Every structure is written in structure tokens, then in C-alpha cells.
Amino acid sequence: MTPLLETRGVWQRFGGLVANSDVSISVGRGEIVGLIGPNGAGKSTLFNLIAGVLPPTQGSIWFDGEDVTRMPAAERCQRGVGRTFQVVKSFETMTVIDNVIVGALVRNTVMREARRKAHEVLEFTGLAARADVLASDLVPAEKRRLEVARALATEPKLLLLDEVLTGLTPTEAQTGVALVRKVRDAGITVLMVEHVMEIVMPLVDRAIVLDLGKVLVEGKPADVVRDPKVISAYLGDRHAQRA
């Protein structure tokens, strides 16, 4: 079976800066894959290429057996790519339920059905009690959850999570981890960018480590964290030799 998502030899240059060089990764159906790496490794760039914010300089991106390299973000969403933003982008003047309805309208043209779907998603994500509150009145952890809820309302096949667990308190992060598991159990494939290793590693089935725009290592989380190349990328060569 073809993987759900595949990047083939993707390059992204910004002027003289090479943010991604020859990145080929694949995400299988039903997996939780972690995309990790130190700051400036090119994670966010790759993430944005997959979400369709901009097309890559070179290479191609395949989703569900289809070449989506030049497809705009809105169309990718219709094909089944949902995403969150690292810096939350709630619709601040709208209520929580209205935020989610925007997402639900992708697959429900009748308003009543979109509203029902949105309520369902709020139940699923634990935001039901906050449905009628303005998004601007949510606390940061709730805003993160709203990002996930909105994306889930589009009924994605692939959910792209951009550092949804970063900057949360340990309790909030645990709730977040539980939510990601629940999402996967609902049959949705997850690709998540994180740079806090200790949170992601127990959660993901497979980790892909980027460094300096290239895929450094890829494999089971337990193997990846012990890999000298990864340790050196995060902590420097001295630590790698000791390990």
C-alpha cells in the first residue's frame, strides 16, 4: 500500500539559505510520526511545504497517491490534510463553536450538520464547556486544543501538529498526549513537529530527525535517542562520544 504522505527529494531555498535539502520522508496510514530536530533544522519549513503554505523549490509531495506539490493549502485541506499552527491562529472575534464550524464546513454544506459536527469535535477534544466563549478569552492551553479541534472538524486523514505540546505545563502536556493518542485511535494519521524530545518520544511510533535541513536519522524512538548522530546534533560532539 502506498504511504499516506511522501516527500520525494524536497528542496527549499530562501535566497542563499537552504532550509531543506533533498528531504525524502514517508508517513504510513495510522502512524504517529514525530518530526524532531534542533532549532533551525528545517522542521517548520518542511511542515509548511507539506501543509501547502508554499511550494518547494524542487522535489515533489505526494498525498494519498496524488501529487499535491503545487496544490494550494485550502485544496489540500479538502483532500484530507489538517494542520495546527505553532503560533496559535484562532479566529479571535468568534466563539469557540464558531471557530470549529469553519472547519466543519469543509465536509458539511448544511449549517445544521456543520454545527452538530462541531459540537461532536468539541466533546472529543474536551472543549464542550467552552463552546460559547470567545476564542480570545481562552487560556493558552485551551487555544492549542482549539487549533486541534478546528483541524479535526475538517475530518482529515492526516493531522499535522506543529509544536502543540511545547510550552505547556506538565499536566497540560499529559492531556495533550492523551488527545493525540485518541486522535490516532480514531483512525487519523498524525505527523507532529516537536523539539522537546521527552514528551514526543513515548508518544510516537517513529521519529524522523532533521538537522541542517537534511534527514539525519529515522527510526524507532528508542533507537533514535541513542543514536550518536542525534546526540551530537542536539548536544554537540563531546556528548556523542561519551554515549
Residue list 156-175, contact with other proteins (CB under 8 A): 175
- Nearer CB in complex with other proteins: 105/200: 105
Identify which range of 26-34, 54-62, 89-97, 233-241 contacts other proteins by CB under 8 A. Answer: 89-97
CB of 44 to other proteins, least distance (A): 14
Choose which of 54, 139, 222, 235 interacts with other proteins (CB under 8 A).
139
Contact between residue 95 and residue 128 where contact means Cβ atoms under 8 Å apart? no
124 binds other proteins (CB under 8 A): no
Beta-bridge partner residues of 66:
63
CB of 133 to other proteins, least distance (A): 6
Question: Per-residue string for binding with other proteins, 20-59, x by CB under 8 A?
Answer: -------------------------------x-x------
106 binds other proteins (CB under 8 A): yes
**53 by DSSP, 3-state: which?**
coil
CA-nearest of 238, 221, 189 to 36 is: 221
Integer Cα distance of 158 and 80 in angstroms: 6
Q: What is the DSSP letter of 134?
A: B
One-character DSSP codes across 185-239? HTT-EEEEE-S-HHHHTTT-SEEEEEETTEEEEEE-HHHHHH-HHHHHHHH-HHH
Choose which of 13, 115, 157, 195 interacts with other proteins (CB under 8 A).
115
* Enclosing H/E stretch for 218: strand 214-219
- Nearer CB in complex with other proteins: 21/125: 125
Beta-bridge partner residues of 35:
193, 208
Q: In what order do the strands lie in the sheet with 17-27?
A: 17-27, 5-14, 58-63, 66-67
**73 by DSSP, 3-state: which?**
helix
Choose which of 18, 134, 197, 240 interacts with other proteins (CB under 8 A).
134
142 binds other proteins (CB under 8 A): yes
Helix axes 140-153, 96-104, angle to 10 degrees: 30
Residue positions counted in the chain? 243
103 binds other proteins (CB under 8 A): yes
Identify which range of 112-120, 185-193, 211-219, 229-237 contacts other proteins by CB under 8 A. Answer: 112-120
Which positions touch other proteins (CB under 8 A)?
Answer: 51, 53, 72-75, 77-78, 82-83, 85, 89-94, 97-98, 101-103, 105-106, 109, 111-112, 114-116, 119, 129-134, 137, 139, 141-142, 150-151, 153-154, 175
